[in-house]
A and B are shown apart, each in its own frame.
Chain A
Amino acid sequence: MIEINGCSKVYRSRDGTREVQALDRVHLTIAEKEFVALLGPSGCGKTTLLKIIGGLLSWTEGDVRIDGKKVTGPGPDRALVFQNFALMPWANVLTNVAFGLELKGVPKEARTGTAMRLLEKIGLAGFESAYPRHLSGGMQQRVGLARALAVNPVTLLMDEPFGALDAQTRRLMQDDLLRLLDQEPKTVVFVTHGMDEAVRLADRIVLMSARPGRVSEIIDVPFGRPRPAGYDSEPVFNELKNYLWEKLKAMQTDGGKVNGG
Chain B
Amino acid sequence: MKSLRIWHERGWKKPTPAQADRLWKRSMQLLFFIVFFIVWELFARLNPGLLMAPFSRTVTAWLELIVSPELYDALWTSNQAMLIGFALATITAIPLGLLLGRLERIERFVDPYLNVLIVTPMSAIIPLIIISIGIGLAARVLVVYVFAFPIIVVNTRTGLKNLEPTLIEMAQAFGASELQLWKKILLPGATPAMMAGVRLGLGRALSGMVVVELLLVAVGLGRMLLSAMGFFQPARMYAIIVVIIIEVVLVMSIARRIEARLISWKPRLA
> Interface residues, chain A, CB within 8 Å of chain B?
54-56, 74-76, 78-80, 82, 84, 86, 88-91, 99-100, 102-104, 131, 133, 151
Contact = CB atoms under 8 A, between A and B. Distances in A.
Interface residues of B, number: 21
A56 B173 contact: yes
A80 B176 CA distance: 13
A22 to B, nearest CB: 16
B188 interface: yes
A19 to B, nearest CB: 21
25 contacts: A54-B173, A55-B173, A56-B172, A56-B173, A76-B175, A78-B173, A79-B173, A80-B169, A82-B166, A82-B169, A82-B170, A84-B166, A86-B167, A86-B170, A89-B266, A90-B188, A90-B191, A90-B265, A99-B174, A99-B184, A103-B171, A131-B265, A133-B265, A133-B267, A151-B174
B174 A86 contact: no
Interface of B: 164, 166-167, 169-176, 180, 184-185, 188-189, 191, 263, 265-267
A91 B191 CA distance: 13
B167 A88 contact: yes
Nearest to B171: A103
Contacts of A56: 169, 172-173
Main secondary structure of the interface of A (DSSP, over half): loop
Contacts of A104: 175
Contacts of A79: 173-174
A74 B185 contact: no
B224 to A, nearest CB: 44
Given A86-B167, A88-B167, A80 B173 contact: yes
A54 B174 CA distance: 10
A104 B174 CA distance: 8
Contacts of B185: 88
Given A76-B175, A79-B174, A151-B174, A86 B164 contact: yes
A88 B173 contact: no
A88 B166 contact: no
B172 to A, nearest CB: 6
B264 to A, nearest CB: 9
Nearest to B169: A56
Contacts of A102: 184
Contact of B170 (A55, A80, A131, A151): A80
A82 B167 CA distance: 10
Given A84-B166, A86-B164, A103-B180, A74 B173 contact: yes
